[in-house]
Every structure is written in C-alpha cells, then in structure tokens.
Structure 1
C-alpha cells in the first residue's frame, strides 16, 4: 500500500516538473520569436503596455476595493452607491493628503534641484581625490583605472540622459491614467456580469472546473496584491522614520520611492535605497553607515516577520524563478515590467498548480 502511494507521489511530482518545464520552454520560445520577428519589439511592447496600463491598474484597485464594496452592499446599500461612497472618501483623502504633503514635497523638490550643482561639485571633488591617490600607482594600473572612470562617467551620463527622456515620457501616460477611475467603476459594478459573460463562452462540461479555477485565481491574486500593498506601506513608513531620525534630506520623497520600489522582490530594496545612500554620502560618510544599518533592520523585519505573517507561504515561489521572471519583465518593460512580473507569475503558478479535483 505504501509503495503505491510512493509511486503515485512520484508520478505527480514528475507531472509537475514536466508542466513547469514545458511552460518555461514555451515562454522562452515565444520571447525568442517576439525578438526575432519584431526588431523594434520594444516600441511594440511599449505601445501594448500603454494601452493595457489603465486596465492593469483598474484590476489591481478592483482587488483592493472589492471587499469594501461587498461589505457596504451587505448593509442594504446599492452597489453603485457603495462605489460612489468609496470614490468620495478616496477623493477627500487624496485631497487632504495633497494639501498636507504638497508643501513638503514642493520644498524638497525645489531644494533638490538647487542642490544638483553642489552634488555634481562634490562628485568632481571625489574624482580628483581618487585621482590623486591612484597617481602613485604604476602607470599600467593608473591607465586602467583612468579608463574605468571614463567608462563609468560615460555610462552615468547616458543613464541620466535616458532617465530624463523616460521622465519626459511619463506625461504620455497621464491621459491613459485618466481612464482608470471609469474602468474601475465598471469593474466594481459589473464584475459579476463580466464573469457570467465569460462563462457563457465555456462549454458546459468544463464550466464547473473553470469556475473553480477562477475562484483560485481570484483568491491567490487578491491575497498577493493586498499583502504587497500593506508590506510596501510598512516599509515606506518605517524607512521615512529612519530618514527623519538621521536627518536625511528629501526624506519624504525618498521614502515614497522606497515604498514603490519595495513592490519589486529582491532588487526593489536596493533600487529604493540607492538614492538615499548617495544623498547621505553627500552629507556625511558616518550617516551612511547608520542609514545602511537602519535599512537592513527594516528589511529584516519585513522579510522575516511581516511578509511570512501577511503574505503567508502559499504564494511563495523559488527565488531563482522569481529572479528569472523579474529579469524578463525588466527586459520587456523596464521598472513597470518588474512590478507586474510577480503578479503574472502568481497567475501562471495558480493555473499550473490548480487541482480540478480539489473542492473549493
């Protein structure tokens, strides 16, 4: 009896490995064909992303707000009125937040712009000091280091230029983002109708299993999105407190940046902390040490206490697979691709691991 169970478990494991392997191979083939078929695939993907961005944001917000709408409708409030109440509360909250934080953001942004010449001057002083130190080294080593600095300088200039261009391109998204509230309203209002319309296209023999699959997809994706928002808010708030304690300049802006970047697993904390470390370095090298310790403590609490408690272990995926998906997302759509890469992985994983014989 035990031998039969062992064989069946091995069969299930083998089937899972085959499914994962086939999916990985198909994904790589599709990406290869996209790159080969469309030499300007970045422009194509950029266009697709601009069109799909409002829908992605509306879907994310639907997962966040839908439980609140459901609770309000349970109190004999019409669904459309519940949505309008949430919109009103949201608008009032955003207005208050902007009213309270705008002076700080404006002051820090203006101060940062005025500080740019000083930051560049400090950077040049560092380069000159390093050049004085390496001047005593043998000529071959000195020459190699000089060339390395030239490469770094050119790369930095190119990176800044690209970032300025991309920042200018952000304005192009504003029009599409204006559609999000409209899409969100209809997603919250008519989601059951949309689901029924979709299910009407499914053959009857697959209908029950399709409903189960949709249920599991919704549960996993909703749990992941809500958990990530809570975790990122915690990281942003605690990081802001660390910045205030250490008197880091532009603390509010840097904390918001850290909160957004923390959505990206593994790479996010490094990306989010980099600007703060650079600015702290301009203030005092000693502050950098305290800052790094503070960020490490925040990330330790987030990774070892908060994430396991809020996110749980049911959505955990092997780090190698997550990193691979993040790299693919970065290559296809930059930072935005990295942000949506893991939710896409959650959906794919839910589909692959779905057990049609498991009761909901």
Structure 2
C-alpha cells in the first residue's frame, strides 16, 4: 500500500490539522475561560513593563522617524542619529503628557473635592425638590414607602454621604497603588527606548524567522499582513485619541456656555470614555447625569440631551472625518467586537476588541477572496444557486 502523500494532499492534511487544533484550542479556551483569564491577568502583570514599552515604541514611531529625518538633514550621521531621535521622541511624549496632566489634574481634583464636600447638601436639596413635586402633583407614594421603608430617604443620604466621605481614603490608597507601579513604568520607558533603538534589528529577526519556517508565499503574506495590522492599530488608536480630545473640548466649551457645574471634571470623563467605541459616550454620560441631577434635576436632563447631541455630531460628522472607513468593519461587527471584548476583558477589552476584530476580519476576508478567485467564482447577492 502506497502511503506517500502528494504535495496537494500534504497541504490539505496540514490545513485540516491546523483547523482541528484551532477548534480544540477555542473549545478549551471557552470551557476553561475563568482559569485562562486568571492566568492571562497574571501574565499581563508580569509582562507589563515590556507591554508598556512596546506601546510607547509603537505610538512614538512616527515622531521618532520625523526627528531622525530632520537630524539627517542637518548633517548628523551614524547609529547615534537613531538613538538621539528616539530620546527626543520620548521627551516630546513625556512633555505632552506631563503638560496635559499639569493642566487637568489640579482642577479636576479641586472639582472632585468640592463635589465630595457639598454632596450632603446637594442630596438634601434633591430630596426637597422631589418632595415638592410629590406634594404639588398630589402623587400617592405610600406603596413606595412600603416597598423601600419609611427611613429610605435618611438611609440613602447617610449611605451616599458615607460613600463620598470614604472616597478620600480610597483615593489615598489608589495613590499608593499608582506609586507602586511607578517603577514598572520606568522599566517600560527603558524597554520602549531599547525597542526604538533596535527597531530594524527586531523586524529583521522576525522576518528571518518567518522566512526560515514558512514557504516564501506564506512568509510574504505574513509580512504584508503584519504591516496591515500595524496600520489598523495605529489608525484606530491615533484617530480615536484625536476624536476623544475634540469631543472632550466641545463638551467643556458647551457646559461652560450653559453654565453647568463641574464642566472640566465631567468633560474629562466624557472625553476619556469616548475612547471606547459605541458604549463609551453612554458610560461617560452616566456619572455626569447622576451628579447634575442631584444638584438640580433639570440640569441632569439638559446634560443628557447635550451629550446625545454631541455624540450624534461625533458619530455622523466628526468620527467619519477623522477615522473614515480605515478599519473596514461594518457597524454590526464593531458592536460585536465591543460586546465580546468587554465581556472577556472588561474596559480594556472594549477598547482593543475593535482593532483586534478588524485584523481578524481583514484576514478572513482576504482568505475568502483568495479561495473564490482560485475557484474562479464571483458570488453576488443575487447569485443563483443551481
């Protein structure tokens, strides 16, 4: 019996084996997801400096290349040009982040402390307003008191006051945790510098390994796809950051014009959460609506309408101008990526789920196109099935 495989059969066996292995891996990943996630969290914690360093190198790559080109134009040569360009890019990034934090943090903390200090008074005014409405409209809420208890109002004020009061010690604890990660951040910056210094060597090493273990067509595809992946992540992160900054500024300006309190604090929250696709604007609006409703119910309503209008502007005008169709994802796919990413890895998953899904979507689409072209098929919506 001849057991020798032809080249075509060997390719089919390898492809089928890969599909089976991927299927088994996905099955056990979902079956043991809690253990997998716990292990993943531990691994991320251990590798944080290197992940942070890679993120720095990725985000500062274009500024570094601009500095390097400028330094070469002024006559500098040699390996030191790259090192100097990387250091200048890191300094530029550090200055920009520091300036932003220096401008925002003092005012945000002032607003936060003021809110904590005035929370009991705001709550009292809020319940006075509710009681006035109940008396004026002659609303029967006896069943509500039976359900919640007659001391519900006092208990709620006590609990919320306690919550706001306990926020200060929690912030001190948070400060301690931030301080404990400072060393990891320094290590990450050093790792990022090293990656930028040796960028070409890293890329060359990966390419050599790819071409050594894969056929040339496969290696060519993987090299091209790696560039596509980098472009997708770069376009998404940079575009979303620019979009979120603009949305935060617009929110601050409009809140200031309409004389809404805590404009800077709430606009920072809105701008930050806007980085999360689809659900980010609503996540950012919730604390603002809650805070302003306690101060004055109508202001909470006005703020909700304001955020709704801003997000309509963002989704229909600003977002398409900045991001365009660079991800190549339909709206349903973006929603799917955010929901699945958030369900698996929380807020971070909601953010990175979209570019990751865009990469997977692009890969699947190219494979489908390749196989259809290989079969000389063109499938349209109205294609007849024989």
Q: TM-score, normalised by structure 1?
A: 0.74
Matched, 1:187 2:195: yes
Match of 2:118 among 95, 111, 115: 115
Q: Is the 8 A contact 1:57 1:180 kept in 2?
A: yes
Unaligned 5+ runs, structure 1: 1-20
Q: Indicate the residue corresponding to 1:83 in structure 2.
A: 86
Q: 1:298 to 1:248 in 2, by over 3 A?
A: same
- Measured after TM superposition, the shift of residue 173 of structure 1 is 4.5
Q: Indicate the residue corresponding to 1:178 in structure 2.
A: 186
- Measured after TM superposition, the shift of residue 26 of structure 1 is 7.4
Q: Is the 8 A contact 1:248 1:279 kept in 2?
A: no
Match of 1:328 among 337, 340, 358: 340
Match of 1:313 among 325, 341, 356: 325
Q: How do residues 49-198 of structure 1 correspond to structure 2 at under 5 angstroms?
A: 49-75=44-70, 76=72, 78-121=81-124, 136=140, 168=174, 171=178, 173-198=181-206
Matched, 1:44 2:59: no
Q: Indicate the residue corresponding to 1:275 in structure 2.
A: 287
- Measured after TM superposition, the shift of residue 251 of structure 1 is 2.0
Q: Indicate the residue corresponding to 1:13 in structure 2.
A: none
Distance (Å, rounded) in 1 between the aligned partners of 2:340 and 2:198: 34
Q: How do residues 19-34 of structure 1 correspond to structure 2 at under 5 angstroms?
A: 29-34=27-32
Q: Indicate the residue corresponding to 2:365 in structure 1.
A: 353
- Coordinate RMSD, CA, aligned: 4.0
Q: Indicate the residue corresponding to 1:261 in structure 2.
A: 273
Unaligned 5+ runs, structure 2: 1-18, 371-386
- State which structure, 1 or 2, has the greater radius of gyration over its C-alpha atoms: 2
Distance (Å, rounded) in 2 between the aligned partners of 1:104 and 1:46: 34
- SS of the residue corresponding to residue 179 of structure 1 reads helix
Distance (Å, rounded) in 1 between the aligned partners of 2:134 and 2:41: 42
- Measured after TM superposition, the shift of residue 227 of structure 1 is 1.0
Distance (Å, rounded) in 2 between the aligned partners of 1:175 and 1:194: 25
Match of 2:306 among 288, 294, 309: 294
Q: Is the 8 A contact 1:134 1:142 kept in 2?
A: no
1:174-220 per-residue CA deviation (whole Å, 9 max, x = no partner) reads 44333332232123222221121112222352322221111211222
- Measured after TM superposition, the shift of residue 62 of structure 1 is 3.2
Q: 1:315 to 1:300 in 2, by over 3 A?
A: same
Q: Is the 8 A contact 1:51 1:176 kept in 2?
A: no
Match of 2:245 among 223, 229, 233: 233
Distance (Å, rounded) in 2 between the aligned partners of 1:316 and 1:207: 24
Distance (Å, rounded) in 2 between the aligned partners of 1:284 and 1:267: 25
Q: Is the 8 A contact 1:220 1:346 kept in 2?
A: yes
Matched, 1:199 2:207: yes
* Equivalences, count: 328
1:45-85 per-residue CA deviation (whole Å, 9 max, x = no partner) reads 43233335544444444333212211222231511111212
Q: 1:220 to 1:35 in 2, by over 3 A?
A: closer
Q: Indicate the residue corresponding to 2:260 in structure 1.
A: 248
Q: 1:52 to 1:325 in 2, by over 3 A?
A: farther
